[in-house]
């Protein structure tokens, strides 16, 4: 099949490797996993993912509704701040609603009859390489930091969420942090029936001590008689997708710059937000050095600088690795650039184009 660049290519066979580890964790620890839709909402692969995961978790009404309609199973709904209209709608189809503050819980719990309610707790500790993503940063608005305030409304909730990690692949750090939560919040945990440890735990990474992780989760759940939930986003889809681009031009300004038919600003926004280079495989030991740049008018639209094994020229294909997470959910129409199609490589190896975007989509997003 001849495909037109740019496109996101999701490989179900690579997703399967992560999903099998997620199922292993459930089988050996009892911890359930719900997909974090804020990271990945490409519902065309939900039929595969639902075989290994227990449901979805969200950050808004629309995400929660998508999880309910397209994924099924458990639907967890969280938002930093619900409106009353949001919560009335969300409560119709959610299994659990997690409030970010005591004030929101008090205001809206009455609309959640028949739905399990929870509260996000900020333990004041975190793991993050970026202050921007640090949930325990100074003056954080994410979760309740006052234990006494939580105890005053404990009768209104059946569970809690501690989301305090970002790309944490350090098991000793996680273990120590969980011990801290057990010690500091035992009085609260003993009065609950479930707890979510949030996302940001990179337990599907190659070499991660999965059995130690499972034992830790199982011990924690047993100690407080809790159903433990994890909210993997990146961990469920890492290395499962790439952004396939084509070189349109090569210019020289003291360095060789290859301009591709995609953009960081429009198609991989997290690279700009966190100021990190794109991942690219097989470019460590090449002899031809190029800066790969996007074609938007943003001066800093740069994917990174790499050493290729062959010269790049117009028509050369450049593949941006590990491009599934926080890309398709953030893609936009900046500069009116052609939005990448979404393509699947299915378990049987067949290629399927599941969505292409046209000028009509561009005009339809505006008014």
pLDDT in tens, 5-34: 999 999 999 999 999 999 999 999 999 999
Mean pLDDT of 305-316: 96
Instruction: Kindly tell me the burial class for residue 50, based on how many C-beta atoms sit within 10 Å of its own C-beta (0-12, 13-18, 19 or more).
Output: middle
Looking at residue 127, its pLDDT comes to 95
Instruction: Tell me the domain boundaries of the chain.
Output: 12-237, 238-364
> Taking residues 145-164, what's their average pLDDT?
97
- What φ, ψ does residue 308 adopt, rounded to 5°? -90, 155
**Residue 257, pLDDT score:** 98
Share of the chain above pLDDT 90, in %: 98
- C-beta neighbour count of 252 within 10 angstroms: 7
Tell me the per-residue pLDDT of 238-249, one tens digit each, with 9 for 90 and over. Answer: 999 999 999 999
pLDDT tens-digit readout, 222-234:
999 999 999 999 9
Answer yes or no: is pLDDT of 2 > 90: no
Given a contact cutoff of 8 angstroms between Cβ atoms, the answer to whether 6 and 292 are in contact is no
- Architecture per CATH, domain 12-237, reads as Alpha-Beta Barrel (3.20)
Provide the terminal-to-terminal Cα distance of the chain, rounded to the nearest Å.
Answer: 35
For the segment 96-101, the average pLDDT, to the nearest whole number, is: 98
| Confidence (pLDDT) at 282 | 82
Q: Which CATH number fits domain 238-364: 2.40.33.20, 2.40.128.120, 2.40.37.10, 3.10.28.10?
A: 2.40.37.10
pLDDT for the residue numbered 309: 94
Q: How confident is the model at residue 283 (pLDDT cuts 50, 70, 90)?
A: confident
What's the confidence (pLDDT) of residue 285?
84
- The model's pTM: 0.95
Measured from the Cβ of residue 248, the count of other Cβ atoms closer than 10 Å reads 15
Is 141 exposed, middle or buried (CB count within 10 Å of its CB: 0-12, 13-18, 19+)? exposed
Determine the pLDDT at residue 284.
Answer: 79
Judge whether residue 70 has pLDDT over 80: yes
What is residue 290's three-state secondary structure? strand
Identical fold for domains 12-237 and 238-364, yes or no, is no
């Amino acid at each position: 099949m001849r495909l037109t660049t740019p496109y996101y290519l999701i490989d179900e066979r690579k997703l399967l490797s992560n999903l099998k580890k997620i199922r292993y964790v459930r089988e050996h620890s009892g911890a359930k996993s719900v997909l974090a839709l804020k990271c990945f909402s490409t519902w065309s692969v939900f039929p595969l993912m639902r075989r290994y995961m227990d449901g979805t978790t969200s950050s808004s009404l629309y995400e929660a509704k998508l999880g309910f309609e397209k994924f099924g199973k458990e639907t967890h709904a969280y938002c930093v701040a619900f409106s009353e209209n949001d919560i009335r709608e969300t409560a119709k189809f959610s299994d659990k609603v997690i409030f970010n503050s005591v004030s929101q819980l008090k205001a809206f719990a009455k609309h959640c009859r028949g739905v399990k309610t929870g509260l996000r707790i900020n333990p004041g500790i975190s793991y993050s390489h970026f202050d921007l993503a640090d949930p325990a940063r100074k003056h954080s608005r994410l979760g309740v930091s006052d234990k006494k305030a939580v105890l005053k409304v404990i009768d209104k909730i059946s569970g809690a969420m501690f989301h305090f990690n970002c790309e944490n692949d350090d098991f000793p750090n996680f273990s120590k942090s969980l011990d801290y939560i057990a010690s500091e919040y035992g009085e609260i945990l003993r009065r609950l029936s479930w707890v979510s440890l949030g996302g940001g735990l990179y337990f599907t990474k190659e070499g991660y001590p999965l059995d130690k992780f499972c034992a830790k989760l199982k011990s924690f759940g047993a100690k407080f008689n809790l159903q433990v939930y994890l909210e993997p986003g990146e961990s469920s889809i890492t290395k499962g997708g790439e952004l396939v681009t084509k070189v349109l031009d090569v210019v020289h300004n003291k360095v060789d710059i290859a301009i591709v038919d995609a953009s960081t600003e429009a198609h991989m926004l997290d690279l700009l937000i966190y100021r990190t280079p794109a991942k690219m495989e097989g470019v460590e030991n090449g002899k031809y050095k190029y800066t790969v740049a996007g074609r938007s008018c943003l001066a800093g639209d740069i994917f990174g600088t790499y050493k290729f094994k062959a010269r790049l020229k117009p028509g050369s294909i450049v593949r941006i690795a590990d491009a599934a997470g926080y890309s398709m959910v953030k893609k936009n129409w900046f500069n009116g650039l052609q939005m990448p199609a979404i393509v699947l490589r299915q378990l049987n190896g067949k290629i399927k184009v599941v969505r292409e975007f046209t000028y009509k989509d561009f005009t339809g997003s505006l008014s």
